[in-house]
Structure 1
């Protein structure tokens, strides 16, 4: 179900808020390339020759879009053997472009709500066709797929896991825009990488999501970190040892989840 159309129940993981605008930029040189797929610019990161596992990972970005941190995370998934494709459903208009500078997101002329509504509508409409084109262009009859999303990208992970047409397993980090149906409709395994303190997906909402999945016998794993906040898996300060450790453990947990389920 398109997230921009559903008004029937309350948010569990709330829409992206001020906490989603914070973060630090990580060091490194992304190695992927861009290509138009189904009319959407797409970042493609390939595993090194000889390390390919023959699997494809669909990446749904957070509100920062195709920024260095996200590109480097996609490259890290590629290092694990996956062909990674991430679509820019913000079309070159990520949230960081509306900040005065990296430390100030108080631009009075930026209508964050209108920005979210516009890009959700585009993503809702274009993701299904994009997934099909990825399968057509890069998949083979025996290819297995996984998907991962952060913040804004979480509901698209749940959508892929709900209809069960393509992906074998999925994961998200510090989610936003999730309602009860996103958990009730799951048909494939979900990995949740979360922070104990998260104004978007707080303790009460997280427990409700767990309750839904337990009652409905969903397959899931919760990875929960203390001492960090929303955005930890993408925008933490890598000069702080614990924040670097948490980010790396999130990535490691997701890769191991995919490796297991896609090997079954």
Structure 2
């Protein structure tokens, strides 16, 4: 994880969901489907970042699911204006953040929320952005006995070859052309291994775009708008395809 994870743009719009609690976590919830749910594992900007909530609203609408964004940082949050402030970004203690929010610390919490969703809904999907990308691969691990039914990872960070090799559910990846956190060699490994695992697999390449495009893209740029809208549509279609099972 690097300073690029804090760069980007905040979008216009007002989220329409509500804040509540679920499985001992504060959550943002949107949508009303009682059969299918999607868990969003947020990026470094946390569960309150407006762009992520707007995306949740769009998935709820376009995929006909109920979407949950839990707080997986234990109440810690970063002010959204950091994405516009070079001085704040440079001063932010990313190594400290990583140590406070390591896989070892946060995976049990993420898993517990997924289990609670699976107990309530007939089908559950998960999408992870940046920091959350590794987490959805672990939720989709073939040893987890269908903890989730499908996953999407957008510009993931901290993703390992082992996590890629062990996925066992339909997997979609939203990958920008330039991404120091998901570099070419790991993209090549992904595209070599996943087609051999016997799962539905969809790799979406976004030419001319950088890390963070799916959650913090510049809506004044036609190229960025095309990319973030395509990413939103692709993820919604993936969940619609794999979570409804003909219903």
TM above 0.5, yes or no, is yes
Deviation at 1:182, TM superposition (A): 1.0
CA RMSD of superposed structures (Å) = 2.0
The answer to whether the Cα contact below 8 Å between 1:98 and 1:107 also exists between their aligned partners in 2 is: no
1:29 aligned onto 2:14: yes
1:158 aligned onto 2:133: no
1:169 aligned onto 2:155: no
Deviation at 1:168, TM superposition (A): 1.3
Deviation at 1:115, TM superposition (A): 1.1
Deviation at 1:108, TM superposition (A): 6.3
- Structure 1 gap segments, 5+ residues each: 1-15
- Structure 2 gap segments, 5+ residues each: none
Match among 211, 216, 232 for residue 230 of structure 1: 211
1:178 aligned onto 2:159: yes
Determine the structure 1 residue equivalent to 2:93: 111
Deviations 1:15-40 (Å, cap 9, x if unpaired)?
x2111010111111111111122322
Deviation at 1:70, TM superposition (A): 0.5
Deviation at 1:219, TM superposition (A): 3.0
Give the 3-state SS of the residue equivalent to 2:168 in structure 1. Answer: coil
Give the 3-state SS of the residue equivalent to 1:85 in structure 2. Answer: strand
Deviations 1:211-242 (Å, cap 9, x if unpaired)?
12234444311000111100000001111122
Structure (1/2) with the larger helix percentage: 2
Give the 3-state SS of the residue equivalent to 2:38 in structure 1. Answer: strand
Match among 29, 32, 57 for residue 44 of structure 1: 29
Please give the TM-score of this superposition, normalised by the length of structure 1. 0.84
The answer to whether the Cα contact below 8 Å between 2:155 and 2:176 also exists between their aligned partners in 1 is: yes
Partners in 2 of 1:83 and 1:61 — Cα distance?
16
Partners in 2 of 1:75 and 1:31 — Cα distance?
7
The answer to whether the Cα contact below 8 Å between 1:55 and 1:145 also exists between their aligned partners in 2 is: yes
Partners in 1 of 2:2 and 2:40 — Cα distance?
21
Deviation at 1:117, TM superposition (A): 1.6
Determine the structure 2 residue equivalent to 1:198: 179
Partners in 1 of 2:225 and 2:89 — Cα distance?
29
Quick one: structure 1 residues 57 and 234, their matched pair in 2 at CA, closer, same or farther if it must change by over 3 Å? same
Partners in 2 of 1:178 and 1:252 — Cα distance?
24
Partners in 1 of 2:215 and 2:90 — Cα distance?
26
Please give the TM-score of this superposition, normalised by the length of structure 2. 0.89
The answer to whether the Cα contact below 8 Å between 2:118 and 2:124 also exists between their aligned partners in 1 is: no
